[in-house]
Structure 1
Amino acid sequence: MSCKITVRRSEDRGHANHRGINTHHTFSFANYYDANFQNFGALTVINEDIVASNSGFGTHPHREFEIFSYIISGELQHKDSMDNEEILKRGDVQFTTAGTGIFHSEYNIHTSLPVHFLQIWVKPDDPRLTPNYHTKTFPEAVKLNNLVHIISPAESETDDPDSTIKIHTDFHMFASILEPGRKVVHKVRGTNKPRKVYVHLASTGGELKINDELLKQGDGAFVTNVKCDDEISFESTGTKNAEFVLFDLA
């Protein structure tokens, strides 16, 4: 396999720190704009957010995109115009189909501890979907030294149709927590048409080697020139666990 790996270094991402929200943007977002980083196929937003106690995102609108949060640590309160309200914790993935339009808020109501999470936006094939909300928990033990399938296309067949969250485009998400020295291999999904893979290593202190390329905390990598059934290897090379997410898309 002759894949091309292009690293997106943590320090090169967009950054803002205001009203208790310390956020890094992989792609252009809000006041951060870079013509070279607008999207990667349907993947449009990867924000790594650390929100202080008693801070967060007040009620605001969304439409068209499918938006999900991957909780790394702390607790995040979610409320929306579909009457959903819950406290999200480590291991939870909260998924919203904004479709024709919703309002929601994301807030850290903890009195002292921050919440650390990834906020991800994907553009579905149909922007006028009926709004929907879903949360699923993927425990630490399941992800440890394993690559767990988190999100899959709504039309795809899986061994267990309830094992993944469904999204309305050709897009897969996986997550893993690798102990030092441990490895996993990802076999690219989809069809034999050209595929793309993006990997993000959470800012939790780990290091990750993708084939021969080294990522440090907060780094990401664009992997191109791949197709269905190609294999990409990942190895935790640091002294701490490497927690990462992987997006496999058309």
Structure 2
Amino acid sequence: MENTVLHKAATRGHANHGWLDSYHTFSFANYHNPERMHFGVLRVLNDDRVEAGMGFGTHPHDNMEIISIPLEGDLEHQDSMGNTAVIKKGDIQVMSAGTGISHSEYNRNKDKLTKFLQIWVFPNKRNVAPRYDQITLNEADRHNKLQQILSPNADDEGVWIHQDAWFHMGKFDNGVSTDYTIKKEGNGVYAFVLEGDFTINGISLNRRDGLGVWDTKKLDITAASENAEILLMEVPMALRQF
């Protein structure tokens, strides 16, 4: 029997710090909702806007897979491994925090916002060696189809993480349908609408809505507006105890 959980955009946690305007799909910082702690191993989905010239000062992480997806503008990253890099729309960045990492992220532009998704996934192994990677994707490869952007496999398309997870992004014309087949038994999919409207397994979704689906083998996805963009995150539903 298929199970679903729908998170409408307006029901998310919200924190506006002036320089940072952030919407939290799951409990984060001062937003605590016991019914929204995680979706399987997907722990954080933050929809962040960073003002020009502002950013996150150096701060630590450990034993978490951290994925950043810029939606507009760019972000400069520096970390304790010596990496300095800029990520921009079309890129995807991943960090395995493992035994511990510190990093900072800044919008170095003087005149424009940066918008990005910050996603945390629990890893399937603890205390791995920290690592950093980023790639630039060809966004044309997601027109009217799903483009894989993340997987568990280093030699697959996209970045990889220490987890049996697969992420895809797609940008669709109005009325175009596709389907998504679950890749691993026991996994569910959390769909997040970036722009426009969709119908997934008969459920209507609008901009920034989230839909979790599990105990199913397939998602039927139809765009219900022009230039509709979506992110699918397939993740294990069982939290592994170490």
Normalising TM by the smaller chain, what interval? over 0.9
Which of 219, 225, 228 aligns to 1:232? It is 219
How much has 1:162 moved relative to structure 2? Answer: 4.3
Matched, 1:134 2:133: yes
The percent of aligned pairs where both chains have the same amino acid is 37
Work out whether residues 19 and 55 of structure 1, in 8 Å CA contact, stay in contact via their aligned partners in 2.
Answer: no
How much has 1:4 moved relative to structure 2? Answer: 2.7
How much has 1:3 moved relative to structure 2? Answer: 2.4
Question: d(CA) in 2 for partners of 1:24 and 1:215?
Answer: 17
Match of 1:107 in 2: 106
Which of 187, 198, 206 aligns to 1:208? It is 198
Match of 1:243 in 2: 229
- Which amino acid letter does the alignment assign opposite residue 161 of structure 2? I
Work out whether residues 55 and 108 of structure 1, in 8 Å CA contact, stay in contact via their aligned partners in 2.
Answer: yes
List alignment gaps of at least 5 residues for structure 2: 237-242
Equivalent residues, number: 236
**3-state secondary structure, aligned to 1:34:** coil
Work out whether residues 174 and 228 of structure 2, in 8 Å CA contact, stay in contact via their aligned partners in 1.
Answer: yes
Work out whether residues 94 and 161 of structure 2, in 8 Å CA contact, stay in contact via their aligned partners in 1.
Answer: no
Which of 162, 171, 181 aligns to 2:165? It is 171
Work out whether residues 154 and 169 of structure 1, in 8 Å CA contact, stay in contact via their aligned partners in 2.
Answer: no
Query: How does the TM-score come out when normalised to structure 1?
Result: 0.90
- The superposition leaves residues 111-136 of structure 1 with CA deviations (integer Å, 9 ceiling, x where unpaired) of 11111111000111112010000001
How much has 1:5 moved relative to structure 2? Answer: 2.7
Question: d(CA) in 2 for partners of 1:154 and 1:82?
Answer: 23
How much has 1:31 moved relative to structure 2? Answer: 0.5
Match of 1:143 in 2: 142
- Which amino acid letter does the alignment assign opposite residue 36 of structure 2? F
Question: d(CA) in 1 for partners of 2:29 and 2:160?
Answer: 27
- Which amino acid letter does the alignment assign opposite residue 206 of structure 2? K
Match of 1:28 in 2: 27
- Which amino acid letter does the alignment assign opposite residue 170 of structure 1? D
Question: d(CA) in 2 for partners of 1:171 and 1:82?
Answer: 25
Question: d(CA) in 2 for partners of 1:125 and 1:211?
Answer: 29
**3-state secondary structure, aligned to 2:215:** strand
Question: d(CA) in 1 for partners of 2:60 and 2:18?
Answer: 19
Question: d(CA) in 2 for partners of 1:178 and 1:105?
Answer: 34
- The superposition leaves residues 9-29 of structure 1 with CA deviations (integer Å, 9 ceiling, x where unpaired) of 111110001131110001100
- Which amino acid letter does the alignment assign opposite residue 228 of structure 2? A
Question: d(CA) in 1 for partners of 2:40 and 2:116?
Answer: 22
Match of 1:64 in 2: 63
Question: d(CA) in 1 for partners of 2:83 and 2:128?
Answer: 18
How much has 1:212 moved relative to structure 2? Answer: 0.9
Question: d(CA) in 2 for partners of 1:138 and 1:179?
Answer: 20
Work out whether residues 23 and 47 of structure 1, in 8 Å CA contact, stay in contact via their aligned partners in 2.
Answer: yes
Question: d(CA) in 1 for partners of 2:124 and 2:188?
Answer: 17
Question: d(CA) in 1 for partners of 2:57 and 2:18?
Answer: 11
How much has 1:235 moved relative to structure 2? Answer: 1.3
How much has 1:164 moved relative to structure 2? Answer: 2.7
List alignment gaps of at least 5 residues for structure 1: 156-160
Question: d(CA) in 1 for partners of 2:229 and 2:150?
Answer: 17
Matched, 1:198 2:184: no
Work out whether residues 5 and 213 of structure 1, in 8 Å CA contact, stay in contact via their aligned partners in 2.
Answer: no
Question: d(CA) in 2 for partners of 1:197 and 1:163?
Answer: 19
Work out whether residues 96 and 162 of structure 2, in 8 Å CA contact, stay in contact via their aligned partners in 1.
Answer: no
Query: How does the TM-score come out when normalised to structure 2?
Result: 0.93
Question: d(CA) in 2 for partners of 1:53 and 1:40?
Answer: 32
